[in-house]
Structure 1
Amino acid sequence: MDFGDVLWTVLGAGLILLMLVDVFHTLLYPHGSGPVSRMIMRGFWLLSKRVRGRASSLAAPVAMAAVIGAWAALVVVGWALLYLPHLPEGFVYEAGVPQQSDFFEAVYVSMVTLSTVGFGDVVAGSPLLRLVSASEAVTGFGLLTATVSGILQMYPALNRRRALAHQLNLFREAAGPAGASSMDPRHAAGMLESLARSVASVSVDMLSFHETYYFHEVEPRGSLPATVVYAHHLASGAKASENRELQFAGRMLEAALEDLATVLRGRFRHPGTTSLEVFDDYSRHHRHRQSG
């Protein structure tokens, strides 16, 4: 192998390693996201802020598809660069198949191997190349499995966030301007403790499923940025109550909201010294304004 072959091999191995690191941090590491997925998701998010209406809600799903496509492209190109120095002498060609040694031939071999289609027209000849191609097939299967598992776990997290927003809206409509003070203190305390548990679940979801932050809700009724400030008002009102159970529930809800604000401040760079300031910036970034 000459210097060019070594360079292609090192570059291909680097692309494969980048994909593995990105997939690990995005899908397998519970509190992280890879550099490739983070850059793509944030890029689509910034682009969606220029779009109005329902089109903006498509940005995050399209970005997720782009992330998966980027992973597949890194795998295909990475392994193609590993195969390129060994074409065509390192492979066995079926009778009648023209032997080529360009990059597109390497990409074709890589795509067939990754998808485990196995046409059999071009197969690895040497033991080392057979091992490499088998490793690519295993990687392709693992990438598909990890992607499907990640998506199946992400959408329930989105549903929990939407459910919390709906719960806050229902509470506001039922309680009216008086808030929790219009209810029986014990009943109100139970409701606020339930809200606190839901807020805590959303905080964990945002840490574990970084991509869910970028999903924009068109309807304010299902949007947490549009309703989270109301939860803050409920906590403040409960803390000012003379009932000890309601005071405790208010402190519990306030603590859960502080944890959520910490996640938004530290992970998604929302400024603010208080949780209310963080939530207001969170609302502006998602194009919603809080109502009293």
Structure 2
Amino acid sequence: MDFEDTLWTLLGLALILLMLADVFHTLLYPHGSGPVGRAIMRGFWLLTRKVRGGASSIAAPLAMAAVIAAWASLAAIGWALLYLPHLPDGFIYGDGVPRGGNFAEALYVSIVALSTVGFGEIVAAHPLLRLVMAFQAVAGFGLLTATVSWILQMYPALSRRRALAHQLNLFREAAGTDGISALDPGHAATLLESMAENVASVSIDLVSFHESYYFHEVEQRGSLPATIAYAHGLASDAQGTGNAELQFAGRMLQAALDDLAEVLRGKFGHLGTTSLDVFDSYALHHKHRRAPETGSS
């Protein structure tokens, strides 16, 4: 191969490696997301906020579709650049199939291999090229199954976040203005410990499924940004009581909320010296008002 062919080959390998690295960090690595996926998710989020004046409920689903399309495009173009220097002499063409050596031809061969369709009218002649095409077909099948798994894993995380928001709203409606003082201390402690567990689950979801942050709830009732400050008020009230069991539950809930605030601060850039400041920024970012706080002792 001459210098130009080598350049195309290296560029193709770089695109394939970028795709593989992004898929790995987004789908397999439990504490992050790939640079391509992260940039697309954040870009769609900021664009819809700028155009609509607020977060959009369709931004995240569209962004996920765009991420999948970006992965497929990187794979298709990357392998096409690997095939380009070997077209048309490195391939066997079926009867009546015109021979071409341009990028469009290479992209066609790549898409057919990636989609595992395998029409068979253009096949690699060299054993190494046949191996490359077989690996691309396996990668294409793996990419399809991985993206389906990604989608299926995302929505349980969103359900847990919505369930926590509904739990807080139900508690606020049932307790009224009296807050935890309206309940038996032992019962209140049990409820706060359950909330702490659910808050911890949401923190883990935001770390493991970075993209779930960008899903915006249309209704405030199911929006954690709109209700999480109420949990902070409950934790403060519980710690100010004279009941040891309730104080312990309050400290558990406060610790879980502090962990959530640290995730929001470290992963998503929310500013604030206290957890409540971070939650204010979180609510503002999602264009939801903070829920009323309970009366502090």
TM-score bin, normalised by smaller chain: over 0.9
Q: What's 1:239 paired with? A: 239
Q: What's 1:206 paired with? A: 206
Q: Where does 1:36-55 land on structure 2 (aligned, <5 Å)?
A: 36-52=36-52
| Equivalent-residue separation in structure 2 for 1:41 and 1:53 (angstroms) | 17
- Residue 178 of structure 1 and its aligned partner are, at CA, apart by 1.0
Q: What's 1:216 paired with? A: 216
- Residue 262 of structure 1 and its aligned partner are, at CA, apart by 0.4
**Do the aligned partners of 1:53 and 1:218 also contact (CA within 8 Å) in 2?**
no
Unmatched tracts of structure 2, length 5 or more: 293-297
Q: What's 1:186 paired with? A: 186
Which residue type is aligned with residue 70 of structure 2? Answer: A
Which residue type is aligned with residue 251 of structure 1? Answer: R
| Equivalent-residue separation in structure 2 for 1:55 and 1:289 (angstroms) | 13
Is the counterpart of residue 146 in structure 1 residue 146 in structure 2?
A: yes
| Equivalent-residue separation in structure 2 for 1:145 and 1:172 (angstroms) | 42
Which residue type is aligned with residue 271 of structure 1? Answer: L
Is the counterpart of residue 125 in structure 1 residue 125 in structure 2?
A: yes
| Equivalent-residue separation in structure 1 for 2:49 and 2:150 (angstroms) | 26
- Residue 47 of structure 1 and its aligned partner are, at CA, apart by 1.0
Q: What's 2:274 paired with? A: 274
Q: What's 1:58 paired with? A: 58
Which residue type is aligned with residue 91 of structure 2? Answer: F
**Do the aligned partners of 1:54 and 1:218 also contact (CA within 8 Å) in 2?**
no
Q: What's 2:295 paired with? A: none
- Deviation per residue, 1:142-194 (Å, 9 max, x gap): 11111111111111000000000000000000000111110011111000000
Is the counterpart of residue 71 in structure 1 residue 40 in structure 2?
A: no
- Residue 53 of structure 1 and its aligned partner are, at CA, apart by 9.0
Q: What's 2:156 paired with? A: 156
Which residue type is aligned with residue 16 of structure 1? Answer: I
| Equivalent-residue separation in structure 2 for 1:49 and 1:224 (angstroms) | 18
Instruction: Report percent identity of matched pairs.
Output: 73
Q: Could you list the runs of 4 or more consecutive aligned residues of structure 1 that deviate by over 6 angstroms after TM superposition? A: none
3-state SS of the aligned residue for 1:50? helix
Which residue type is aligned with residue 87 of structure 1? Answer: L
| Equivalent-residue separation in structure 2 for 1:255 and 1:51 (angstroms) | 37
| Equivalent-residue separation in structure 2 for 1:116 and 1:145 (angstroms) | 13
| Equivalent-residue separation in structure 2 for 1:179 and 1:6 (angstroms) | 70
- Residue 291 of structure 1 and its aligned partner are, at CA, apart by 2.8
**Do the aligned partners of 1:112 and 1:118 also contact (CA within 8 Å) in 2?**
yes
3-state SS of the aligned residue for 1:123? strand
3-state SS of the aligned residue for 1:137? helix
Which sits farther off after the overlay, 140-149 or 187-196? 140-149
**Do the aligned partners of 1:79 and 1:136 also contact (CA within 8 Å) in 2?**
yes
| Equivalent-residue separation in structure 2 for 1:125 and 1:63 (angstroms) | 39
| Equivalent-residue separation in structure 2 for 1:250 and 1:53 (angstroms) | 37
Q: What's 1:291 paired with? A: 291
Unmatched tracts of structure 1, length 5 or more: none
Which sits farther off after the overlay, 181-190 or 53-62? 53-62
